[in-house]
Amino acid sequence: MTTFHSTRSTTDSLTSKQAIRKGIADDGGLFVSDQLGETKVDIADLAGMSYQAMAQRVLGALLPDFTEEELAQCIAAAYGDQWADERITPVKPLGDDFVMELFNGPTSAFKDVALQILPRFMARTTPADGGANEKIMILTATSGDTGKAALAGFADAPGTAITVFYPQGKVSQVQELQMTTQTGSNVNVCAVEGNFDDAQSAVKRIFGDRELAARLAGDSHVVLSSANSINVGRLVPQVVYYFSAYAQLLERQIINVGDEVEFVVPTGNFGDILAGYYAKLLGLPVKHLVVASDKNNVLFDFLTTGTYNRNREFFQTISPSMDILISSNLERMLYYLSGKDTRLIAMLMNDLKQWGAYEVPDDLLARIRAIFGAGWADENQVRDMIADCWNEHHYVIDPHTACGYFVMKQMPRDPLTPRVLLATASPYKFPRVVNESLGLDASGTDFECMDALAAATGTVAPSALRGLETAAVRFKDVVTIDGMEHFVQSAAESL
Ligand SMILES: *Cc1c(COP(=O)(O)O)cnc(C)c1O
């Protein structure tokens, strides 16, 4: 029986459905299963298998308390024709290497892979109190990408509602319109006077406010929850595309069954790359996983020295979804590679909370480094790489993917091990930076930038992004930081 407990203690024993509904453990740890890797996923017949069939196999191994039928329904609804490519995460050649596009979903960012299916998982979990009237309200502060992907996933999802806050004037024109034009009867979007950190801290306070929780539960049957990438239900769908990459390399006859592959992953909260490690534990022949960071290079320092230290300057960069000082999902990797040592993890996380830093034992660092490589790119290098990738390969990349491209170029290439770069966002989400990097006109609106980019490169803007110029804006509310709680309460009352 697969059960989940906290990375910091073994007292809980939850099913995956309970873990998904709960999100985070009471002691602040993340849910992990000690059975992970006991059942291997068969890779002999992956070539030619559909993404949906692969998802059924991989998710079946990771979430065994969902029935086959439940998983099949979730998968069919999440990976249907809202994706611009029927392979869902297509792999394409990039010189001697490969790129896997994770951005063909409805919001053009890799978070769609997880957020298209998470609401469908949630709809199949049972309220803790057994009450069928209970609604989950997802509450998120976003610096751009997560908010829209979560809105698109939860819009009109049964038993759920969603409220998204974003910092006024601090997201791009495209990102703001993506959110304020969101349709659906259970969605709310609101700008906040303040920066992302202020909004994020306020959301955490709202989550911790027991009085508010009691009021919401009593008056409106609403329970607050998070769509953050620490939720198991957001992590496991990402394991599938590592198998898909392998299947596509088999199909292209680049590898034979059993050959090892290397992945380079633009990293922020460590969710995407952790899914690659889970794939390895499930039996996928993954040689190395390479962390690519932006100028916020806390993970690079950790992987080179063994000391994680968040006491440093925070940089707001042109790759905003990787601007992070605490990579939450790292905790799960430390759990597994320390031999499931909950006491060590509890101690390290306590150090992080108390001192903003921790140091792992040498033998643990050695085990981590045998699997994980690391590199990072500053903003000038990111811009140079967007141009380099276009000039060398006639392939346009976004600023997040460009961090990975830079790191991949720095690494010595082993001709026997194919490398796959994960492309995490469409360049059309960041058309101004991309145009500046390519020497194209970037003086007009984001939409004029998109048109110039399309004309110069022969690529096509995703219609959902290009169409934002004429989409109707539904949400115009702006609140102060102190007004956020009231906004949440009114949103819950109006459900
Ligand atoms: C979220 C995000 C990342 C980082 O992924 P993590 O799972 O947080 O490491 C990278 N690129 C883009 C475009 C993203 O939206």
Contacts of 365 (CB under 8 A, 6+ apart): 306
End-to-end CA distance of the chain: 37
Please check whether residue 151 is in contact with residue 165, taking contact to mean a CB–CB distance below 8 angstroms. Answer: no
Instruction: Identify the residue whose tokens are 């490169």.
Output: 457
Q: Residue 313 — pLDDT band, cuts 50, 70, 90?
A: very high
Q: How far is it, in rounded angstroms, from Cα 143 to Cα 321?
A: 7
Residue that wins the pLDDT comparison between 144 and 88: 88
Task: Determine which residue's CA is closest to atom 8 belonging to ligand 1.
Answer: 269
Q: What is the pLDDT of residue 373?
A: 98
Q: How far is CA 312 from the centre of its chain?
A: 24
- Find the 321 Cα to ligand 1 centroid distance in Å: 5
Residue that wins the pLDDT comparison between 226 and 180: 180
* Range with the largest mean pLDDT of 16-20, 118-122, 276-280: 276-280
Q: What is the pLDDT of residue 132?
A: 63
pLDDT at 327 over 70: yes
| Nearest of 355, 356, 331, 358 to residue 345 by alpha carbon | 331
Q: What is the pLDDT of residue 195?
A: 83
Q: Of ligand 1's atoms, which has the minimum distance to the CA of residue 271?
A: 7
pLDDT at 356 over 80: yes
Does residue 412 come out as left (phi exceeding 0), alpha (psi in the -120 to 50 range) or beta?
beta
Give the mean pLDDT of the chain: 94
Q: Residue 2 — pLDDT band, cuts 50, 70, 90?
A: confident
pLDDT at 11 over 60: yes
- Find the 1 Cα to ligand 1 centroid distance in Å: 32
- Find the 132 Cα to ligand 1 centroid distance in Å: 34
What Å distances lie between residue 99 and 89, 334, 353, 388, CA to CA? 10, 28, 37, 15
Q: Under CATH, what is the fold of the domain 91-107+235-461?
A: Rossmann fold (3.40.50)
- pTM, two decimals, is 0.95
- Find the 229 Cα to ligand 1 centroid distance in Å: 10
- Find the 281 Cα to ligand 1 centroid distance in Å: 22
166 has which bridge partners?
191
- In one-letter notation, the amino acid at residue 185 is S
Please check whether residue 390 is in contact with residue 396, taking contact to mean a CB–CB distance below 8 angstroms. Answer: yes
Q: How many CB atoms are located within 10 Å of the residue 462 CB?
A: 18
pLDDT at 144 over 80: no
- Find the 328 Cα to ligand 1 centroid distance in Å: 12
Tokens, residue 81: 């024709």
- Find the 266 Cα to ligand 1 centroid distance in Å: 7
Q: Of ligand 1's atoms, which has the minimum distance to the CA of residue 429?
A: 13
Classify residue 453 by burial, with Cβ atoms within 10 Å: 0-12, 13-18, 19+. Answer: buried
Please check whether residue 269 is in contact with residue 324, taking contact to mean a CB–CB distance below 8 angstroms. Answer: yes
pLDDT average, residue stretch 121-148: 82
135 has which bridge partners?
222
Dihedral sign for Cα 212, 215, 219, 224, please. positive
Length of the chain: 495
160 has which bridge partners?
136
Q: What is the pLDDT of residue 128?
A: 61
Q: What is the pLDDT of residue 70?
A: 97
263 has which bridge partners?
289, 420
Q: Of ligand 1's atoms, which has the minimum distance to the CA of residue 398?
A: 13
- Find the 265 Cα to ligand 1 centroid distance in Å: 9
Q: Under CATH, what is the fold of the domain 117-228+462-495?
A: Rossmann fold (3.40.50)
Percent of all residues in the chain with a pLDDT value above 90, rounded to a whole number = 82
Q: What would the pLDDT profile of 37-68 be if each residue is shown by its tens digit?
A: 998 999 999 999 999 999 999 999 999 999 99
Q: How far is it, in rounded angstroms, from Cα 85 to Cα 333?
A: 31
pLDDT at 145 over 90: no
Q: Which of 270, 325, 424 to mutate to test the pocket of ligand 1 (most atoms within 8 A of CB)?
A: 424
Helices (H), 124-238: 145-154, 173-180, 196-208, 210-220, 232-235
Helices (H), 143-209: 145-154, 173-180, 196-208
Q: How far is it, in rounded angstroms, from Cα 331 to Cα 328?
A: 6
Q: What is the pLDDT of residue 138?
A: 93
Q: Of ligand 1's atoms, which has the minimum distance to the CA of residue 103?
A: 13
Q: What is the pLDDT of residue 396?
A: 98
pLDDT average, residue stretch 461-469: 95
Q: How far is it, in rounded angstroms, from Cα 485 to Cα 205?
A: 9
Backbone angles phi, psi at 18, to 5 degrees: -65, -40
Q: What is the pLDDT of residue 275?
A: 98
Q: Which of 241, 267, 386 to mutate to test the pocket of ligand 1 (most atoms within 8 A of CB)?
A: 267
| Nearest of 155, 181, 152, 175 to residue 321 by alpha carbon | 175
pLDDT at 129 over 60: no
Tokens, residue 411: 């690494």
- Find the 228 Cα to ligand 1 centroid distance in Å: 12
Q: What is the pLDDT of residue 139?
A: 93
Q: How far is it, in rounded angstroms, from Cα 121 to Cα 154?
A: 11
Count of helices and strands (H, E) across the chain? 22, 15
Q: What is the pLDDT of residue 131?
A: 61
Tokens, residue 120: 């469908």
pLDDT average, residue stretch 174-190: 95
Residues with C-beta less than 6 Å from any ligand 1 atom: 109-111, 145, 229, 266-272, 321-322, 400, 424-425
pLDDT average, residue stretch 186-205: 89
Q: How many CB atoms are located within 10 Å of the residue 68 CB?
A: 9
Task: Determine which residue's CA is closest to atom 2 belonging to ligand 1.
Answer: 321
Q: What would the pLDDT profile of 410-433 be if each residue is shown by its tens digit?
A: 999 999 999 999 999 999 999 999
> Domain residue spans in the chain?
91-107+235-461, 117-228+462-495
Task: Determine which residue's CA is closest to atom 11 belonging to ligand 1.
Answer: 424
Percent of all residues in the chain with a pLDDT value above 70, rounded to a whole number = 99
pLDDT average, residue stretch 156-160: 89
pLDDT average, residue stretch 209-228: 88
Q: Which of 115, 322, 376 to mutate to test the pocket of ligand 1 (most atoms within 8 A of CB)?
A: 322
pLDDT average, residue stretch 304-308: 98
Q: Residue 170 — pLDDT band, cuts 50, 70, 90?
A: confident
Q: What is the pLDDT of residue 326?
A: 87
pLDDT at 240 over 90: yes
Helices (H), 373-429: 379-393, 399-410
pLDDT at 390 over 80: yes
pLDDT average, residue stretch 378-394: 98
| Nearest of 407, 401, 399, 404 to residue 383 by alpha carbon | 399
Tokens, residue 32: 């992990």
Q: Indicate if 117-228+462-495 has the same CATH topology as 91-107+235-461.
A: yes
